[in-house]
Amino acid sequence: MLKKILVSLLKRCWNIGRGLFWLGLRLFGLGVLAWYVLRWWPGDRFLSVRLFNYFMPWLLVGLIPGLVVAGLAQRKWAILALAAPTLLVGLTFAPLFLPRPESVLAASVPLKVMSYNVWYHNENVADATRLIRQEQPDILLLQELTPVMAHALTHELVDLYAESQLHFAYEPEVYQGIISRYPLTPVDLAYDKGRAQRVKAETPVGSIAVWNVHPNAPLPWPRQYRQLSTLAEDIAVTDGPLIVGGDFNTTDQSETYRLVNQYLWNAHWEAGWGFGFSFPAHQPRFKEIPILTPVIRIDHIFYSPHFFARTARTLSESGGSDHLPVTAELSLVR
């Protein structure tokens, strides 16, 4: 008698658990669909929408296996609830995994740009220097560059460009610096416009505006929105070749990102491959939380239509930073 009761109880628990599992899958799919609508209106004003935007690629970790399980079990409603969001998220990132057509639009020498948040607490000058030497960027945008690190890096990199001297522009107020093989003319520091350090680089192909930015994190969100919206206003009225790079503290699916992307191209989306996650890279722990791999991409290199991107990639080493550096090879359109 007791055995029958236990068997009956186990069956009931199994049926309840199975029902909750399929209900959870359906609600997950419908929740992703609801978020997809909310991200366009009212947008990133909701914290939940911002979080989904930051971790959008990781939704596929739940959506794809869930859709496979629903298909194998022939659960029609679960399939319907999961198929649409899987398709939407998958199609969003599909261009990052498709072959890139070769372009022959430019005959000018490629300009290599590197953006690198070296991290306030990074004391590993040797590894940071090794990464920069390895890449030998023509223009290097540095964020969270303390005076101590700035002095150390410029000292270690003084012979980086054998054919010319190293040019350095530094804004200690915001811990941002630009190193270049070409002469730099400082323009200004637009603190309320994403902490934009703005210079002119005198390259063999002409004068290029270069902006090194590091907007605040989206807490509070309105502050970041104001910074990037005013930055975008300046981009809209800027004539001539323009490169804008840095740690934007926002992913390519956010509303604040689209403020900039409406005027400029993102090198990773035009010439990169894969998700290109760049943060957090400080291993084995980040703020006492074990992190095995970067989970979001918040470091970007944008460029005006005067250029096209030949290559773009995220480095696999951080040089002691909590960010992976990102690089892009650009050429002026002729």
Q: What are phi and psi of 55, to 5 degrees?
A: -110, 25
Distance of CA 83 to the CA centre of its chain: 27
SS3 content of the chain, % helix, strand, coil (to 5): 40, 25, 35
User: Where do the domains of the chain lie?
Assistant: 2-97, 111-332
pLDDT in tens, 48-95: 899 899 999 999 999 999 999 999 999 999 999 999 999 999 999 999
pTM as predicted:
0.93
pLDDT in tens, 120-155: 999 999 999 999 999 999 999 999 999 999 999 999
Model confidence at 8: pLDDT above 70: yes
Give me the pLDDT at residue 275, please.
97
CATH architecture for segment(s) 111-332: 4-Layer Sandwich (3.60)
Indicate the burial class of 129 (C-beta count within 10 angstroms; 0-12, 13-18, 19 or more). middle
Alpha helical stretches, state H, the chain: 2-38, 47-54, 59-72, 76-93, 125-135, 147-156, 221-236, 255-261, 267-271
Q: Are 211 and 241 in contact (CB under 8 A)?
A: no
Q: How confident is the model at residue 290 (pLDDT cuts 50, 70, 90)?
A: low
Model confidence at 334: pLDDT above 80: no
pLDDT in tens, 152-203: 999 999 999 987 789 999 999 999 999 999 999 999 999 999 999 999 999 9
Model confidence at 286: pLDDT above 60: no
